[in-house]
Structure formats: C-alpha cells, structure tokens
Amino acid sequence: MGRGKVQLKRIENSMNRQVTFSKRRNGLLKKAFELSVLCDAEVALVILSPSGKTYQFSSNDFDTTISKYRSMGGLPDLNEIDARSVESLRNEVENLKKFAVSTEARLKQMCGEELASVGAREVKQLERHMRTGLQRIRVQKRRLLTDHIRMLKKKHKDLQDENAFLQQRMKEACKALEKRQVNKPPGIFLQDLNEVY
C-alpha cells in the first residue's frame, strides 16, 4: 500500500516543517549524487534553508561547474544583470509616467475640464462615452432600486402576515376571556389576559 498524495502547501507547524526540510534535503542531495555517479553528469546543487544555512553538493569543483553554466548562457554576469535591469526599470517608469499623464488628462476631459486642446471629433467621442456610461449607471441604479423595492415588499408582506396572525390570536384570546368573564368582576381583565398567553 503506497502513501497518499501529499498536498503541496506550506507546513504550518514549525517542528514538522523543519523535520520535513531535513528529510527532503537529504533525499535531494542523495539523488544529486546518484545522478552524477550513474549518468556521469556534472551536478551542482545549492540549498538555502529558512534559517539561512547553506547546503551544497557538487560532483566536480563547484566554481568550475558554475563557470561552465555561465559560459553556456545559463547565468548572466551580475554586472550585466544590474545594467539591464536598471535600464528596463527606467523604461518602465517612463512608460508608466506617460500613461499616468495621459490617463489624468483623459479623466479631466471626461469631467469637462481642459477641453481647449480637444478637437470636435474627440468631443463627440467623449460625449458618446459619457452617454454610454450614464446609460450603464441608470441600468445599475434601476436594478438596485428594483431589488430594494422587492425586498421591501417581501418585508411588508411578512409584517402583514405576522399582524394578521397576531390579530387572530388576540380575537381568540378575547373570546376565551369573554367565556371566563361571565361570573367575574370587570377589574381582573388584564390579569386574565396574561394567563391566556
């Protein structure tokens, strides 16, 4: 009988998490060693624990394996990464600034401000967008009001039903009291009403 399928999610209990890390780390290191021996492969493995400890395995010299990997284009030089990432971040920031400025100008135009630089065609397009947006808002408002009215009607009907039920009980209680009040003085009516309930 095999083990059940393990659900892959973070283990909440820190003790269990540490034990699982230790066992799986050892298994991974063992598999890396077996791969290097059985297949005559050059294997380098680095494991960083949550506590900050480093575990590594290399079938040859670790630095030599990493250098070979870099020369094959697998891992770019750190200076090259920094220069490329800084340049791409600058481009992204510039694009986001332009997008923010154009979006802000569009928003102002939709509010009816700064229309001097807008042509007749763009004004018509803005008007069409505004009409469409207003129509959507009206449809949503109508739907919300209809839902609210439906809820209030249901609540009104429930209250009417409850009122009718209470009136029926009151009539029954009064009839029961009338039967009991035949020989009693009139001052005991409220006390008898409480006894009926």
Cα gap 160→166, rounded to integer Å: 10
Query: Measuring CA to CA, how many Å separate 98 from each of 92, 95, 101, 110, 123?
Result: 10, 5, 5, 18, 22
pLDDT at 141: 93
Mean pLDDT of 179-184: 67
Domain ranges for the chain: 14-75, 84-145
Mean pLDDT of 131-154: 92
What does the angle CA 35 – CA 38 – CA 42 come to, to the nearest 5 degrees? Answer: 50
What does the angle CA 72 – CA 73 – CA 76 come to, to the nearest 5 degrees? Answer: 135
Q: Which CATH superfamily, name and number, covers 14-75?
A: Transcription factor, MADS-box (3.40.1810.10)
Structure tokens at 191: 């006390």
Question: How confident is the model over 66-87, as pLDDT tens digits?
Answer: 888 877 776 656 666 566 677 7
pLDDT > 60? residue 118: yes
Phi, psi of 143, rounded to the nearest 5 degrees: -65, -45
